[in-house]
């Protein structure tokens, strides 16, 4: 007989504000993580504090922000107006309290809900807030959101502004560490969006004179075909160019917030660019041909923006402000006037752009000649695709929620595919199995994607033929053996993505699965090791004479063991692209026809691994 579950008065619990944040941190900062990924929670905490400092600059107060991060301790000092001294405690510890409800004080800020700094407080082991205002100062210190010391109002000779110091709580962020490369990308975006703002971070200075033009120059990995078109207006800034590459690459921002998932502003931007260019040339171009190879950025300012989650990665606002036009009309009117004027005044640019569009059109039609039957075959095959073990939830199912955990493992061979399939979470994790080594696609046209069955089915599984909007998995994980053949297959897959879907990598969707090289165990304990250094530590810990196994392939790892490596402790290395990578030259060297040059490089850099 089933025992009846009680539901009485004492089952109803009322949480304090800080208890709710600590119990459900994902509602406020997205995922937790340890700092190994740029969207981990510790960076969101930093951003919540920085948003307040940058909002002061946007309102015309304070041109410098000083930041230090040392041994997990984060300090941010701005030189804005300073928190009103009588409200320092309320602003940092009372939910739904803040200056941004008053649109006169903060007309176009990012933080509108009075939550950000409180979330930092609740998720920190210590936080210190000090405001300097008109020759006086007020400070308060917290320990896990409880006031440990409230200092009296004192005289001060310091410049106006606010100082916030916090230490993310290791009870919540396990063994976290801040990585400079992720912090610096965040800071660069701030200065690109706020020309004239200086951010000093651990001895480095970040400053931008040309705004979004500098952003594109910083991030482009291919040479632009024509000078960047940089247009600025009241509450809007855009930068546009094209390169000889596949895909579309966009950077979109609202009130300084990087909206990685786009939203109403990005949709309007893409639509309007296509329409204006089509009308300028007075030709019946396809929008996809106009945008092929585009790299562009848009930043808009919106009063009381509506985001689709607390982490603010997608704009949902339909209007620029309570009394303003719609987002689509505001952006559309600006682009129609300014971009059309620019093209008329710069015929050299319009000629280059026209050639690029015509070339894209020719290639699309060439692909169409071979792809129609192949596409149909791929769609039918995909329904019963033996290569794909799909998951139940997909990235495109999100509808306002971010299904970050959805992923697909690209494996080699049936044994590895079988192990992952048996170990995976079928709700979020899909598996795609390759047959042998894929084709080297370097130097080939996109026509090959449809002619090669492996790549055609992979493209169909990812649903990226028409762009990233249909991407079915947030993470595309390359899971190959850690031997020479596995490394080669990994390189061939990355080459395929770089050639035909570079935006998949630029938008940080591609990862390498790290699996252990060794298992060290005795009768009491088993340790999995990902490096020689970890192996030596494990041997020392489990001595004397533990059993050591060297995994030479994923298929050698049993499904019960594999479960440990693709669960919550999964180790992923992101595949990234930077301007300094010189992608074209790198692919030419490693994947091109310069066999002897490459052979000599291998011989000169050969490292012989001793058997263990």
Band (pLDDT 50/70/90 cuts) for residue 101 is very low
pLDDT at 473 over 90: yes
Per-residue confidence (pLDDT) for residue 484, from 0 to 100: 81
* Average pLDDT, integer, range 98-109: 46
Instruction: Yes or no: say if 302 and 327 are a contact pair by the CB < 8 Å rule.
Output: yes
Per-residue confidence (pLDDT) for residue 398, from 0 to 100: 54
What is the rounded CA–CA span in Å between residue 476 and residue 422?
A: 19
Low-confidence winner among 152-166, 276-290, 400-414, 426-440 (lowest mean pLDDT):
400-414
Per-residue confidence (pLDDT) for residue 105, from 0 to 100: 39
pLDDT at 612 over 50: no
Instruction: Yes or no: say if 95 and 101 are a contact pair by the CB < 8 Å rule.
Output: no
Band (pLDDT 50/70/90 cuts) for residue 435 is confident
Contacts of 339 (CB under 8 A, 6+ apart): 229, 231, 240, 273, 276, 277
CATH number of 212-363: 3.30.230.10
**Pseudo-torsion of CA 467, 472, 475, 478, nearest 10°?**
-90
* Average pLDDT, integer, range 401-418: 81
Domain ranges of the chain: 17-206, 212-363, 385-515+553-604, 518-550
Instruction: State pLDDT tens for residues 267-297.
Output: 999 999 999 999 999 999 999 999 999 999 9
Q: What are 98's two structure tokens? A: 């803040």
Per-residue confidence (pLDDT) for residue 483, from 0 to 100: 78
Rounded mean pLDDT of the chain?
84
Q: When comparing pLDDT for 599 and 487, which is higher? A: 487
- 10 Å CB burial of residue 435 (0-12, 13-18, 19+) is exposed
Band (pLDDT 50/70/90 cuts) for residue 3 is low
Instruction: State pLDDT tens for residues 190-203.
Output: 999 998 999 999 99
* Average pLDDT, integer, range 92-114: 52
Per-residue confidence (pLDDT) for residue 337, from 0 to 100: 95
Band (pLDDT 50/70/90 cuts) for residue 106 is very low
Q: When comparing pLDDT for 306 and 61, which is higher? A: 61
What is the rounded CA–CA span in Å between residue 589 and residue 58?
A: 46
Band (pLDDT 50/70/90 cuts) for residue 114 is very low
Instruction: State pLDDT tens for residues 324-372.
Output: 788 889 999 999 999 999 999 999 999 999 999 999 999 888 877 665 6
Give the whole-number percent of the chain exceeding pLDDT 70. 85
Q: Identify the CATH class of 385-515+553-604.
A: alpha beta
What is the rounded CA–CA span in Å between residue 477 and residue 408?
A: 6
Most confident of 33-42, 99-108, 578-587: 33-42
Band (pLDDT 50/70/90 cuts) for residue 378 is low
pLDDT at 381 over 70: no
Confidence (pTM): 0.75
Low-confidence winner among 173-177, 489-493, 604-608 (lowest mean pLDDT):
604-608
Most confident of 84-93, 322-331, 376-385: 84-93
Strands 510-514 and 475-479: parallel
CATH number of 17-206: 3.30.565.10
pLDDT at 102 over 60: no
């Amino acid at each position: 007989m089933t025992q009846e579950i009680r539901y009485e008065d004492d089952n109803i619990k009322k949480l304090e504000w800080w208890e709710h944040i600590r119990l459900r941190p994902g509602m406020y900062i997205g995922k937790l993580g340890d700092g190994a990924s740029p969207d981990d929670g510790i960076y969101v905490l930093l951003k919540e504090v920085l948003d307040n400092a940058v909002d002061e600059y946007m309102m015309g107060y304070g041109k410098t922000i000083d930041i230090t991060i040392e041994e997990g301790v984060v300090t941010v000092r701005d030189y804005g107006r300073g928190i009103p001294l009588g409200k320092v405690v309320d602003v940092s510890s009372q939910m739904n309290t803040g200056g941004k409800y008053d649109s006169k004080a903060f007309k176009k800020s990012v933080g509108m809900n009075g939550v950000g700094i409180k979330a930092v407080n609740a998720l920190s082991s210590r936080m210190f807030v000090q405001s300097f205002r008109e020759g006086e100062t007020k400070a308060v210190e917290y320990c896990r959101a409880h006031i440990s010391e409230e200092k009296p109002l004192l005289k001060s000779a310091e410049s106006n502004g606010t100082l916030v110091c916090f230490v993310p709580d290791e009870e919540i962020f396990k063994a976290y560490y801040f990585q400079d490369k992720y912090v610096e990308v965040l800071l660069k975006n701030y200065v690109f969006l706020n020309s004239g703002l200086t951010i000093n971070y651990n001895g480095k200075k970040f400053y931008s004179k040309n705004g979004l033009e500098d952003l594109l120059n910083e991030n482009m990995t291919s040479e632009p075909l024509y000078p960047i078109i940089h247009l600025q207006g009241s509450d809007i800034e855009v930068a546009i160019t094209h390169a000889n590459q596949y895909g579309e690459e966009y950077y979109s921002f609202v009130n300084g917030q990087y909206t990685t998932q786009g939203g109403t502003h990005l949709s309007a931007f893409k639509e309007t660019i296509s329409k204006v260019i089509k009308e300028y040339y007075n030709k019946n171009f396809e929008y996809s041909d106009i945008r092929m190879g585009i790299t562009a950025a848009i930043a808009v300012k919106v009063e009381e923006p509506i985001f689709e989650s607390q982490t603010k990665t997608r704009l949902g606002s339909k209007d620029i402000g309570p009394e303003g036009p719609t987002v689509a009309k505001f952006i559309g009117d600006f682009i129609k006037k300014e971009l059309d004027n620019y093209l008329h005044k710069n015929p050299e640019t319009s000629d280059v752009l026209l050639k690029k569009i015509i070339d894209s059109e020719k290639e699309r039609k060439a692909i169409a000649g071979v792809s129609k039957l192949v596409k149909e075959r791929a769609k039918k095959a995909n329904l019963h695709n033996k290569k794909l073990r799909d998951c139940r939830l997909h990235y495109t199912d999100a509808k306002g929620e971010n299904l970050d955990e959805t992923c697909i493992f690209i494996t080699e061979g049936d044994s590895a595919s079988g192990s992952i399939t048996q170990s995976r979470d079928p709700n979020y994790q899909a598996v795609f199995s390759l047959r042998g080594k894929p084709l080297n696609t370097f130097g080939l046209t996109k026509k090959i994607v449809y002619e090669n069955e492996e790549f055609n089915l992979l493209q169909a599984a990812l649903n990226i033929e028409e762009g990233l909007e249909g991407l079915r998995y947030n993470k595309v994980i390359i899971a190959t053996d850690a031997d020479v053949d596995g490394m080669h297959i990994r390189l061939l897959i990355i080459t395929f993505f770089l050639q035909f879907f570079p935006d998949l990598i630029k938008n940080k969707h591609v990862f390498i699965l790290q699996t252990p090289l060794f298992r060290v165990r005795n009768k009491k304990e088993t340790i999995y090791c990902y490096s020689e250094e970890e192996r030596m530590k494990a041997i020392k810990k489990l001595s004397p004479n533990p059993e050591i196994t060297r995994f030479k392939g994923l298929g050698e790892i049993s499904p019960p063991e594999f479960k440990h490596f693709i669960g919550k402790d999964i180790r992923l290395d992101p595949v990234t692209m930077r301007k300094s990578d010189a992608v074209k030259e790198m692919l030419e060297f490693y994947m091109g026809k310069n066999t002897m040059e490459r052979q000599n490089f291998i011989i000169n850099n050969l490292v012989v691994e001793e058997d263990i």
